[in-house]
Each structure stands twice: as structure tokens, then as C-alpha cells.
Structure 1
Amino acid sequence: MAPDTERGGERNGRVELPETGGGSEQRESVFPAGGGTTLARFDRPRGSGTTLAVVADPHLTPTDRGSFNVYHRTKQRFQMAVADAHRLDVDGFVVAGDLTKDGATEEFALADELLSAAPAPTLAVPGNHDLDPGGEPSAGAFADRYAGGEYPVTREVGGTTVSLLDSTHPDGVESLAGGLDAAALLGLANDGVTAPRVAVVHHALAPLPAPVDTACPATQYRLREPAATADALADAGVELVVTGHAHWPYATTYRGLGVVGAPSCCSFPPAYLLLHFDAVGTTVSIMPLADEAGLTEAYEFAVTDDRRGDAVRAAVIDGYFGRFPMVEEVDTQALADPPTAPSVGN
């Protein structure tokens, strides 16, 4: 059962969170009411007007409820992301891993049902929750089903080159940790693609921002040998890396690469990313998937989580979401108006 929640108010057109735990915590706005939030503007990659929707860590389940991931909202949140991607007429829909809660047959059935309604092309990389070493589906079956070939998979999406990589189970055992093996990186380097590209991988490449880094240790959330991996990606023509796994929005640069961490579409703050590539550069927007009541519900579940609760609370109190955009490499006067957010329910 969901915890009791109290709706926050609105101030200066921004959705706010309520006080939690009976204290006098500072209340911090998260998303503009009625609009998305710009997370980053990168000088590269550039494009000709391509827009991608990136949904991360939906953890779809038809039966479970509660927890940090607000399981009883997973189907609804994913459906909203699909509907909003259609509203914005995106050129492609990408899932950055952890499509399912635990890789169960009924969870994949739900995922297939929902993905069938998503804008084409619909692509996905696996997350640590999706693949059980030696189980079903296998990594190869997942790749065929959701990427149309063996990873690494590279697709042209609306004029933008997107490369999908599998970072799960680098040692062949079930683990939170991730890595890209030499064969995958060599395959990317030798696939004949010369255009600048975007890479999508589940595990984090760059260091996570404070205070979330305290709840998400690098040994469990980052790719192994991140510096060497970043250099290999850059050598293969990658200019932007989009990751999931941490359930937290952030943007940075790492060893010359633009790096974006996608929020989860189920846990706080429930949202997806919109990436727009034009002649000026790349604009990354966070598109909310919950109204004030839904955001509050997700926050209440988050701050009562034993592992991440303190970090989420500290981030909100310290004004983390007021520091966006986190990367600004573009002359903003050359940009179009940001996308509007969908009308969302709780």
C-alpha cells in the first residue's frame, strides 16, 4: 500500500514537494508546472532536427506494488512516456535498460505489449534486471527482440547515429556491476560507421553527482575501467553517452564525451529524456511523467528507502533540481523554445 501523502503547493509556476517526516525541511521545486526542464545543452553531436525519447529503468511489473520503484505505477508511467513520445512526434524511442522488474516472463509480456504501441523505431539495451546469466531470455535473444541484432547494434534514427551496447554481466554472473568487454568496443570501432554517434548503455560511465554517489557506489553502478572505456568510445566516434541504472538525472562531461544519466520513469523523479539534435548541438530535456500528487507519492517512497532515502532527501533540500542545466555549451539565443510537458495524472 502506498504511504499517506500530502500534496505540496505551487510557487512561481513550479511543482513543489511537501515537507516530509514532520520536520521543517526546505521545500524545493522540481519541474516547471506545464513544461519540461532542460538538463543539458551540448555542443555536439549535431544533427538536422532529430528527436529521440529515452526511457530508462521502467522496471515493468503487472503485479507488484510499492518500494522505491513505485511498482504499481510502472505500467502507467511507461504508457504515459509512449503517449508523450507520440505527441511530440519523436523520430525514435529508446529504452536504456531494466525494462522489467526481474526478467520474469509475465514482465516481458507486459513490456512487449507496451512497446508495440511506441513510436518506431523502438530500441532497447538490457539492464541488470533483465538478463539472468544462463536464463531466459539470453543476451542474444534480448538483442534480437529489442535491437534487431547482436550488440553492439548501430542504427540510423532520423539522421542521428545511435549505438546500443550491452553492459550487463561482464563476468558472466548476476551482479549490479557492469562493463563493456573488448569485443564489444572493437565491434563498435570496426563497424564502418564514420558519422558522430550517440551511445546508449545501461551502466553509468561518469562519476555520479553528490549526494547520490553516496548511495550508489561506483563498484555497483559504474562501468568497469571507465576511463579506458570512455577513450575507446570516443575513438569509435561517440560524442554523447546516455546511461541509466542510477535512477537519477544528471549531465556532465567525461574525458571529452558528453554524458547524460537518465531518470527512471517509475521512481523519483518519474520522467524520461528528450534528446534533440540540430545544427547548434544537442539539447537534453527532462519530461515529467507525474503531476504534483504523483511526484509527491514517488518522493515519499524514495525518502523512506533504506539505501537511497537520505541521499534523495539531501539532494532535494540542497536545491539539486534548481541547478539545471548542468551543462551549457550552446548559445541559448540560437535555440528554439523548449518542449512542453504532457498533461499527466498521478
Structure 2
Amino acid sequence: MTEPLVIAHLSDLHLGADVPAAVASIADEVAAFEPDLTVVSGDHTMRARPSEFLRAADLLDKLPAPRLVIPGNHDLPLISPLRVTAPYARYRRWIGEDDPVVRIPGLTALGINSMPWWRWKSGRVTPEQAVLIRQVLGQAPPADVRLLALHHPPFAGGPARLVGRSRLSQALQAAQADVVLFGHTHVPAVEQTPTHLLLVNAGTATSYRTRNLPRSWTLLRIHPTAIEALERFESTPGTWHTGRVIHLLRR
């Protein structure tokens, strides 16, 4: 039997608005599942302060590698000239590049920076990023799982709607993407579109800024014909358990 691909998906760490017990336990909690890839989909800090980025970098280094890490809206300075002159400088110094790619056997994964400096907290996908999705995911080996990660919910409506949502949808379809991982809402959710695209929203893993649910992260086990999503919730500070287990079909 072929071993499944195991992907750990964390989001919204918010170092600076965190629960110390959750921060102290999360790396060992994730490592216990031996993921093939760890994805952290933005908002590593609360206010993009250097001290918060240092703590975030330390925590990210403790999470299992390889890692796919992208920025969120809280990773840009909020009220500062840097918001205009160098909005991503601190993120790039302490965390990494904006649109990273990870390739491992059986998986091609792309992360995109969906946070423009000129929006307050909602996101966008640029024409260049849509091309990148088509190139990186669309040209992946035929048997690969094709995964995109961004911070913002890709198909939200209203004020939270992505600028460039249509181009994102078209690029995902053209690239035959399998999985999209995101965060931002602090509310875990897993759903599948009629085309079998899996949408996974991770909760907040280490912040006290919860939305009527415990802190959480999501584990995916991807089999040739099915995907198993385990939502891992914190029952007491630093203690984690499996909540929902969701089974979905692969295309």
C-alpha cells in the first residue's frame, strides 16, 4: 500500500498575541505526525514588530521541514511609513520570500503573497501570480498533488473578496490544482468544490484571538483516491486532540 502524503497546515500564529503554552507545545504536536510538508499560511506576528518576527522565526525553525511559509496581513507594519516604503522588508529579513515553491516526491506546492500593502486587511492575486500558478502547478508531474497556499480565503464575497478572484479561479482550473490552503478567519473549515478542489481553512494555532472555537491546526493525509483531513484542537493549554475527521474524494 502506498504511504499517504502527510501535510500539516497551520495559520495565524500571531506571535505577540499568543498563548505561551500553545507556542511551547505546537512544534512537538506537529512533529508527532511526521508530515512530509508543513504549511504556515500567514499572520506569523501580531503587529510586524522585530521582536515578534524573531519569535516567529524561532518557532518556524522548530516546525518540521520542509516548510512552505507565506505572509499575512498582520505581517505588514500597520501604522508606519514602512507600510508604504518597505512593507515586506521585515518579513523577508526574518521569515523568507513572498512566493515560495516546494517540490517533494508526489507533491508540487506553491505559496503566494496575497496581502497588498494598499489594502487594510483583505487580499489580492496579481496577474503575475496567476501566471505563476499556471506555470508551477500546471507544469507539475502528472501524478503530483498540486497545492496552493495563500493567506486569504480564495472565494470569499463582500468586502473580504479577493482582488483578482476570477483570475485565481481560472488559474487554479487551468493548473488542475488539487488543494488550496489558507487562514485569516481563525475558523477551521474543510470543503470540496464540484470539481474536487479541496479548500482548507486552518484556525489560529497559537493565538488567544479565537472565534468561539479552540486553537487548532489541520492535518491532511492524501491518498491516491481520497483525502483525510484531521482537525486538531487544543483542549487545555498545550494539550491537543483530534476533533473532526473528514474524508473526501480525490479527482
TM-score (ref. length: structure 2): 0.80
Equivalenced residues, count: 232
Instruction: Give the C-alpha shift of residue 154 in structure 1.
Output: 2.1
Question: Matched residues, percent identical?
Answer: 22
Who is 2:111 aligned against?
Answer: 164
Q: Check conservation: 1:58, 1:98, Cα contact below 8 A.
A: yes
Q: Which runs of 4+ in 1 moved over 6 A?
A: 292-295
Q: Residue type of the partner of 2:50?
A: T
Who is 1:129 aligned against?
Answer: 74
Aligned residue runs from structure 1 range 1-346, under 5 A: 48-61=3-16, 71-73=17-19, 75-132=20-77, 133-134=83-84, 138=88, 142=91, 146-147=95-96, 149-151=97-99, 153-157=100-104, 159-169=106-116, 172-191=117-136, 192-194=139-141, 195-207=144-156, 218-220=158-160, 222-254=161-193, 256=195, 257-265=197-205, 266=207, 267=210, 268-291=213-236, 328-329=248-249
Q: Check conservation: 1:91, 1:158, Cα contact below 8 A.
A: no
Counting strand residues as a fraction of each chain, which structure ranks higher? Answer: 2
Looking at structure 2, the residues matched to 292 and 146 of structure 1 have their Cα atoms a distance apart, in angstroms, of 26
Q: Check conservation: 2:71, 2:98, Cα contact below 8 A.
A: no
Q: Residue type of the partner of 1:199?
A: L
Who is 1:298 aligned against?
Answer: none
Change (3 A) 1:104 1:158: farther
Instruction: Give the C-alpha shift of residue 225 in structure 1.
Output: 4.2
Who is 1:26 aligned against?
Answer: none
Question: RMSD between aligned alpha carbons?
Answer: 2.9
Q: Check conservation: 1:96, 1:200, Cα contact below 8 A.
A: yes
Q: Residue type of the partner of 1:164?
A: G
Give CA-to-partner distance per residue, 1:32-76, whole Å, 9 cap, x none.
Answer: xxxxxxxxxxxxxxx842211111111111xxxxxxxxx351x43
Give CA-to-partner distance per residue, 1:175-194, whole Å, 9 cap, x none.
Answer: 11101100011122123434
Change (3 A) 1:54 1:224: same
Q: Residue type of the partner of 2:61?
A: S
Structure exhibiting the larger radius of gyration computed from Cα positions: 1
Give CA-to-partner distance per residue, 1:117-168, whole Å, 9 cap, x none.
Answer: 21111231100000243355626x7357545x451x2212453221111100
TM-score (ref. length: structure 1): 0.59
